[in-house]
Amino acid sequence: MFRYWRALTLTVALATLNAQTSSPPAAPKNDYSQEAAVIEEMTTRAVFDNSGNSTREQITRVRVQTDSGVKHWGLLTFPFSSATETIEIDYVRVRKVDGTTITTPPDNVQDLDAEITRAAPFYSDLRERHVAVKGLATGDILEYQAHWHTTKPLAPGQFWFQYNFHREGIVLNELLEVKVPADRAVKAKGPISKQKTTQEGNLRVYSWTHSQLSEVRDPQADEKRQIDTALGRRESPDVQVSSFQNWEEVGRWYWDLQKERIEPSPAIRAKAAELTKGLTDDDSKLRTLYKFVSTQYRYIGISFGIGRYQPHAADDVLSNNYGDCKDKHTLLASLLQASGFTLYPALISSTARVDVDIPSPAQFDHVIGYLPRGPKEKDGIWLDTTPEVAPFGYLVNRLRNKQGLVMASERSAQFLSTPPDPPIPATEAFKIEGSLNDEGTFDAKAEDTSTGDSEVLVRAAFRQIPQPQWKELVQQISYGLGFAGTVSDVSAGKVEEIAEPFHFSYSYNRKDYPTWKSDKQFTVPGLPLTMPALKDDARNPVWLGSPTQFVSEARIKTPNGYTPLVPPNLDVKYDFAEYHATYSVEKGVLISKRRLVTILPEVPVAKFEDYRALVKKVQQDVWQYVQTTSADRATSSSGLAMPGTSDLGPFASILNDIRGLPNSDSPEATRLENEARDQMASHNVEGGISLIQKAVATDPKFTRAWVMLGVFLCSNNRVDAGIDALHTAMALEPNKASIPKALGYTLMSKQKFADAIPVWQDFMKAYPEDVDGPSNLASCLRNLQRYSEAAAALEAAVKIKPELPVLRLQLASAYLHAGDRGKAAESYRKIGELDKDGSYLNDAAYQMASADLELPLALEYAKKAVRAANADSEKISLEDLKVEDLGRIFRLAAEWDTLGWVEERMSQLDEAEHYLLASWKLTQDGVVGGHLCHLYRRIHKNSAAIQMCRVAVYRIPLSKGLDLSEAMVEIAAAKENLKALTGVAVKEETPIDESNFVMQERRFKLSRFMVGTESAEFFVLLASDGKSPTFKVQDTKFISGSPKMKLEGKQLRSLDFGVPSPGGSVTRFVRRGILGCYQYSGCSFVLLEPSSLSLN
């Protein structure tokens, strides 16, 4: 793509000419003692004559006050154009605090090529004079003066000048003077500062003064400037001066420079004839010649005006095979002229708006072409060959909706507006089709097809990288889409075929697809459809760009025996954008089609709430988990489906009893039941329900079929009909405890707690010694926030099973919520007596801490739990790693969090921070983040608190084992802390910054130890010996990946993962990550989410 160059502005200036003898200026009223440096005086003088030659003088006086100021001002850089001007450094000196002066000697001065010259030495003559300031230290005053003299005017008889006042740091006084012949008409404009005009002999003097006495920044104004800069809409320079009187003069000047250079030579005519041979229509000829210059001639990315203004002759460019913007336009114009077309040059700015009041070449940094194609201006075609791989008529974003100075002859120059959008609709279409296996490995084929902006970016990337490295390129693109797996078998369309959409495809493999092994759910892979973030206090429109359609399609086959539950379709429409998503399942394959369309180029402030709503809905849809049902989880061997659960849960205890129900006396009814089970096993839910309905119709007393029908209907969200079927089964077999249990569990799984209460009450009457009755009744009451009644039910459960600590824990919690702190404390104390292995001490301590109840006892419980977890972790060895070892990190993190939370409640804040930070580093759990947010607020680490509060709001919904009501409480607490810290209520927005923060905490850079691109997954065992303040890598183990990486686990031993060892803990845990080296980004190790850990 382009390398845009911002015109150099003269920001170095003058101190007093009598600096050697004058006293320093009086101290200003404002206190600037903490500033790195203060520019006390700054003056620039430029003198022009009628020939176009000029002299510039710059003098500066700076008070340097800190080490960073010394670093900034210790090396001075003076740019100059070696072909057209000379430079003289009059002096660089340092005035010390003790009154002595140190002058920098000539040996400290050297001339170097400017960066742009090093990149394009044949096109640029920009150089830089570097001066290493001798003796500069804190407290010194730096003074320097330089002169520039032009030796060859850029345009004989004309001159122009631009200047921007100094905006960085404190400037007490800044003066700009521009002197021109008194009898010469010039255009001068300086809207930022008041302009003063005086006469000095035969010179007219324009002067402007400026100061910046504070550096208070407006974040919103800064953001707008950043947006405008990115879009090429920067404001005009603070001061502009030009001897050109109108734009026709500017046009005539450039027309004269290029008119002879575009004249077709015999070689040009021969090449044009060769390229257009056999083509009969104008459009084909135009596109062929455009493609030739675009794709076959390398663009030298320097801006119009760097080094020279006159292009090379078209014949020279033809043989060189490269050129800058002027040269590529000249070659295309010459080839087109040889073929009977006229392409006019157009001067344009890619960085700023053109100020039409000041006719000056300095306002342009690019040359493109305008091809008239009809009676109206809008019928014309704008051509820019510098992107090299852009479609015909395509302009980059910075050139759209801009004014270009089009020159049709030496007498004709006018501004025409470029189109606001590309000539073809912008689209990006991503398709992925793959399958998950039982182990959570996802294999897929992916393909991407794009037109417009995305096409040009991706096509250019493929062009710049050799084909053997395309795999690495697509790997990085895949990472950018949020895919952590590996790519292979990359293929792509021909990069130079710019008339067609760009298409590439690849194979994709991801082991341990997130949450599949643990929860048998998955997110649908595809385009992330991330839209620009919107801050709470935003007051600038959100830029969306040219209308674009993003299409993301996926077909995901789940393992045999699993059927995806179809997510709801979504349609959202606003005048600025719309989003549509449809989902379906065919033969166990989830089919997802998502389409985001941006309509307006920007979202106005008045539409911000609509925009936030759209972003929230899109992201919720894109990142939702697709649940699955399976024969193993949803049916027993008798074909009984478990409604709406991710595992057997409470149904496990009743399956055997239901299996024991007798067959029907009717062979036909039994046959129908068996066929219904077969249909359910094949995921034909409706077929299974139809058959089981026929079975109970054939034998209305077939109890097992009624139970099956009830559960099937409930699992298919026909809850009322399912409950009726279970009631029928209960009436047929009133003495089977498993049937009312199935009914109660079914109602609870569907959140029908009020309906489940009488079921469990009746169950308690029928089966008074079964603890499931009162414990499940209490669960229903607790969900309805009827805590006193829940406590009474749990008291009954404790009488039946007094030895169970889990019942005591539930009872204590119920007492707490009911307001009976005394009974709650008594129950918590009892847990310590019953819980011999410490399984419930952590939960008890956490509940007590959250309630500020019995904190010393909570501290005792929490410490016991941590000691038990530490001792348990000693069993972990990578040589004999077990599945349960991978989950110990969650127990350790939870127990550190609890201990830290208890310490925080007891105002032992240093200890609390150690444990909470350690817990956060282990799993980045959102609840722990909320606790850290609260703690940081208490100890007045406000920046850290705000960051952690925002991260907590983002991560809490992802917390393992947290139900919805608990998550809402934790999110509310984090938002309340955030509001207290920032003074504004938290609004929903896409958590892009928070997601990046979390990801960066898991990414660790390594020195390059391998060339090329290779990656592999490793286990890392981190251990603490109780002495070191942080965990150290004790062992590593290769899992899978590049064979070249197999022995490189040693690279990880030098990494500091930043996990503190709180309280002298002696413990260990396992993490898994990807060790990779990449051609351009170097080597790194990225930790995977702990929830994705598995042995394979």
Note the pLDDT tens digit of each residue in 1026-1066: 888 899 999 999 998 889 999 999 999 989 999 999 988 89
Of 989, 1088, 993, whose CA–CA distance to 620 is shortest?
989
Q: Percent of the chain scored above 70 by pLDDT? A: 90
Q: Amino acid identity, residue 822? A: G
Residue ending a domain, choose from 417, 437, 454: 417
For residue 144, what pLDDT is reported? 96
Structure-model confidence comparison of residues 119 and 874, the more confident one: 874
Q: Does 860 fall in a domain?
A: no
Over residues 239-267, the mean pLDDT reads 94
Instruction: Give the angle subtended at the CA of 71 by the CAs of 69 and 75, to the nearest 5°.
Output: 115
Find the range with the poorest average confidence among 49-63, 151-165, 978-992: 978-992
Mean pLDDT, the chain, integer: 86
Q: What is the DSSP letter of 261?
A: T
Q: Percent of the chain scored above 90 by pLDDT? A: 53
**Same-domain status, 231 and 263:** no
Q: Is the pLDDT of residue 416 over 90?
A: yes
Q: Is the pLDDT of residue 491 over 90?
A: yes
Distance between terminal CA atoms of the chain?
42
Chain length of the chain = 1096
Q: Residue 957 belongs to what domain range?
A: 925-999
Q: Does 687 fall in a domain?
A: yes
For residue 308, what pLDDT is reported? 64
**Same-domain status, 196 and 58:** yes
**Same-domain status, 392 and 441:** no
For residue 386, what pLDDT is reported? 92
**Same-domain status, 122 and 262:** no
**Same-domain status, 587 and 670:** no
Over residues 511-528, the mean pLDDT reads 85
Band the pLDDT of 937: cuts 50, 70, 90: very high
Q: Other C-beta atoms within 10 Å of 151: how many? A: 11
| Cα 214 → chain centroid | 33
Cβ atoms of residues 272 and 367 within 8 Å: no
**Same-domain status, 187 and 298:** no
Band the pLDDT of 788: cuts 50, 70, 90: very high
Over residues 390-394, the mean pLDDT reads 95
Tell me the pLDDT tens digit for each residue of 81-125.
Answer: 887 889 999 999 999 999 999 999 998 888 877 665 444 444 456
Q: Is the pLDDT of residue 991 over 70?
A: no
Of 530, 621, 610, 528, whose CA–CA distance to 571 is shortest?
621
Q: What is the DSSP letter of 377?
A: G
Taken in order 77, 78, 80, 86, the sign of the CA dihedral is negative
Encoded tokens for 257: 């420079």
Longest CA span, the chain: 124
Over residues 412-435, the mean pLDDT reads 93
Number of domains in the chain: 6
Tell me the pLDDT tens digit for each residue of 330-347.
Answer: 999 999 999 999 999 999
- Which residues 6+ apart lie within 8 Å of 1026 measured at CB? 1061, 1064, 1065, 1066
Residue ending a domain, choose from 564, 595, 629: 629
Number of H helices, E strands in the chain: 32, 39
Band the pLDDT of 599: cuts 50, 70, 90: very high
- Which residues 6+ apart lie within 8 Å of 881 measured at CB? 1019, 1037, 1070, 1095
Q: Does 867 fall in a domain?
A: no
Domain containing 618 — which CATH number? 2.60.120.1130
**Same-domain status, 451 and 388:** no
Q: Does 46 fall in a domain?
A: yes
| Alpha carbon separation from 616 to 572, 579, 987 (Å, rounded) | 11, 11, 10
Band the pLDDT of 12: cuts 50, 70, 90: very low
| Alpha carbon separation from 139 to 37, 66, 99, 678 (Å, rounded) | 9, 7, 12, 88
Q: How far apart are CA 471 and CA 483, in angstroms?
A: 14
Cβ atoms of residues 223 and 271 within 8 Å: no
Q: What is the DSSP letter of 952?
A: H
Q: Amino acid identity, residue 84? A: T
Q: Does 523 fall in a domain?
A: yes
Band the pLDDT of 713: cuts 50, 70, 90: confident
Domain containing 136 — which CATH number? 2.60.40.3140
Q: Does 734 fall in a domain?
A: yes
Q: Is the pLDDT of residue 799 over 90?
A: yes
**Same-domain status, 934 and 1004:** no
Over residues 203-228, the mean pLDDT reads 82
**Same-domain status, 261 and 215:** no
Q: Is the pLDDT of residue 756 over 80?
A: yes
Q: Does 58 fall in a domain?
A: yes
Burial environment of residue 573 by CB neighbours within 10 A (0 to 12, 13 to 18, 19 or more): exposed
Instruction: Give the angle subtended at the CA of 55 by the CAs of 52 and 60, to the nearest 5°.
Output: 145
Domain containing 401 — which CATH number? 3.10.620.30
**Same-domain status, 994 and 1006:** no
Tell me the pLDDT tens digit for each residue of 373-383.
Answer: 877 877 899 99
For residue 7, what pLDDT is reported? 22
Q: Is the pLDDT of residue 758 over 60?
A: yes
Domain containing 724 — which CATH number? 1.25.40.10
Instruction: Give the angle subtended at the CA of 1005 by the CAs of 1002 and 1008, to the nearest 5°.
Output: 145
Task: Look at phi and psi of residue 283 and say left if phi exceeds 0, alpha if psi is from -120 to 50, else beta.
Answer: alpha
For residue 886, what pLDDT is reported? 83
* Predicted TM-score of the model (pTM): 0.59
For residue 14, what pLDDT is reported? 21
Structure-model confidence comparison of residues 985 and 523, the more confident one: 523
Q: How far apart are CA 354 and CA 356, in angstroms?
A: 6
**Same-domain status, 56 and 147:** yes
Cβ atoms of residues 63 and 38 within 8 Å: yes
Q: Is the pLDDT of residue 231 over 90?
A: no
**Same-domain status, 154 and 298:** no
Cβ atoms of residues 367 and 346 within 8 Å: yes
Q: Other C-beta atoms within 10 Å of 152: how many? A: 11
Encoded tokens for 775: 């414990």
Torsion angle of C-alpha atoms 284, 285, 289, 294, degrees rounded to 10: -20
Q: Does 671 fall in a domain?
A: yes
For residue 677, what pLDDT is reported? 77
Residue ending a domain, choose from 242, 268, 301: 242
Over residues 22-31, the mean pLDDT reads 49
Band the pLDDT of 315: cuts 50, 70, 90: very high
Q: Is the pLDDT of residue 640 over 50?
A: no
Over residues 311-325, the mean pLDDT reads 88
Encoded tokens for 949: 């509060």
Band the pLDDT of 683: cuts 50, 70, 90: low
Q: How far apart are CA 215 and CA 875, in angstroms?
A: 58
